[in-house]
Amino acid sequence: MNKVYATAAEAVADIPDGATIMVGGFGLCGIPENLILALHDKGVKGLTVISNNCGVDDFGLGILLQARQIKKMVSSYVGENKEFERQYLSDELELEFNPQGTLAERIRAGGAGIPAFFVPAGTGTILAQGKETRAFEDKEYVMETALKADFALVKAFKGDKEGNLIYRKTARNFNPMMAAAARITIAEVEEIVEIGELDPDFIHTPGIYVRRILKGERYEKRVERRTLRCA
């Protein structure tokens, strides 16, 4: 089975309107820039997107938001994006808000086959409304359910032709757990090597989780907030 795709457009060609997709990244670090642009160009609509945040106004997932391609966000951070705020406050965008650790664990549970789990985060707040709560050792916990997706779009530093992936430093973030929690995982990498060239001890995502892989290009690797300190 050939997993290597020539372009991002080919890799996302079968993502339909209304799909649920996971998109890796933390802020603008480790985001699948080429795959996001390909989705924008494809014009797919009504997406449910599971991602830590929604990029910024003119970059990353923010370009899908501006084009009204996203129907619902499942996120843990909604800052840095004025259009996100505007659409949410005007009831144009659905939002399922999660504490960051809870979001990460819901995704991990989806990949591990764990349907639900209990956490203390959110107990006694609006985040727990309508959810089952239970006491363990005199402490209240809220039940959270696992997250899965039709597609996961992830970004890695290096991959081989079998789809084995290595992430670089903080770009690892949500990418590995999302790769394991979707029906079809599409990975974009900065370099594709031959099978056997990656040291097995350093592989973060085994190729069994990856259905498609492509070499990305023209990475901007933006910084959301740059702080300068004067002497």
pLDDT value of residue 222: 72
Question: pLDDT, tens digit, for every residue of 59-103?
Answer: 999 999 999 999 999 999 987 788 998 999 999 999 999 999 999
pLDDT tens digit string along 104-134? 999 999 999 999 999 999 999 999 999 999 9
Contact 149/103 with Cβ under 8 angstroms? no
Domains and their CATH numbers in the chain: 8-114+147-215 (3.40.1080.10)
pLDDT band at 51 (very low <50, low <70, confident <90, very high): very high
For every residue of 147-192, DSSP letters joined together read --EEEEEEEEEEEETT--EE--GGGGTTHHHHHTSEEEEEEEEEEE
CB atoms within 10 A of CB 162: 18
Instruction: Give the least confident one: 42-46, 55-59, 85-89.
Output: 55-59
Model confidence at 55: pLDDT above 80: yes
pLDDT at res. 178 = 98
Question: How confident is the model at residue 16, as a pLDDT?
Answer: 98
User: Does the pLDDT value for residue 224 go beyond 90?
Assistant: no
Give the model confidence (pLDDT) of 189-217 as tens digits. 999 999 999 999 999 999 999 999 999 98
How far, in Å, CA of 149 to CA of 152, rounded? 7
pTM of the model as a whole = 0.93
Structural contact between residues 72 and 22, judged by C-beta atoms closer than 8 angstroms: no
Q: What percent of the chain has pLDDT over 70?
A: 97
